[in-house]
Amino acid sequence: MNATALPEVDTEANNEVLYEFERHHALIEEHIYASADLQDHDALHMILCEIHSIRENAAMLQLSEIMSFTNAIENIIFSIINGNLAPTHELSEALLMAMDHLRNIHLEKLSDAQFDDLNITRSEQALTMLAVAQTKSR
């Protein structure tokens, strides 16, 4: 077992977490698309609730990478809600890319899937866009 290996968890639990993630992911995407570039505060609160649910599920399985990443997404959403970060189309796109990265992390951690450099590059772009957006808002 390597240093980053997960604690032993049964396949049924992994499948349940993956199913729940896909459900939350679909709702988050729906709210991002419906929120007119993150202008709708009700949609932002729903996104926040869904992200929090994903983080809580990850905590049950001690998936620290997912917990950290969802926490970063929560902070971005809080910044938009509190007016510290301007909602833009680019930020919406970055959040969608971040959600794709989150899906990859779930699949990699819970089903031993491996992803190519293209997905890693896309995820890095999303995180860079989020960081730039947050920096511009300060």
- The CATH number of residue 123's host domain is 1.20.120.160
- Alpha-carbon distance of 106 to 83, in angstroms, equals 30
Residue 6 lies in a domain: no
Range of the domain at 104: 11-136
Residue 124 sits at φ, ψ, to 5 deg, of: -65, -40
Residue 31 lies in a domain: yes
Residue 124 lies in a domain: yes
Residue 1 lies in a domain: no
Residue 5 lies in a domain: no
> What is the reported pTM?
0.73
Mean residue pLDDT across the chain: 79
Residue 123 lies in a domain: yes
Number of domains in the chain: 1
Kindly report, residue by residue over 18-60, the tens digit of the pLDDT. 888 899 999 998 988 887 778 888 999 999 999 999 999 889 8
Question: In terms of Cα–Cα distance, which of 55, 76, 51, 50 is closest to 67?
Answer: 55
Q: Which range among 22-26, 94-98, 100-104, 108-112 shows the weakest confidence by mean pLDDT?
A: 108-112
Query: What is the band of 108 on the pLDDT scale with cuts at 50, 70, 90?
Result: confident
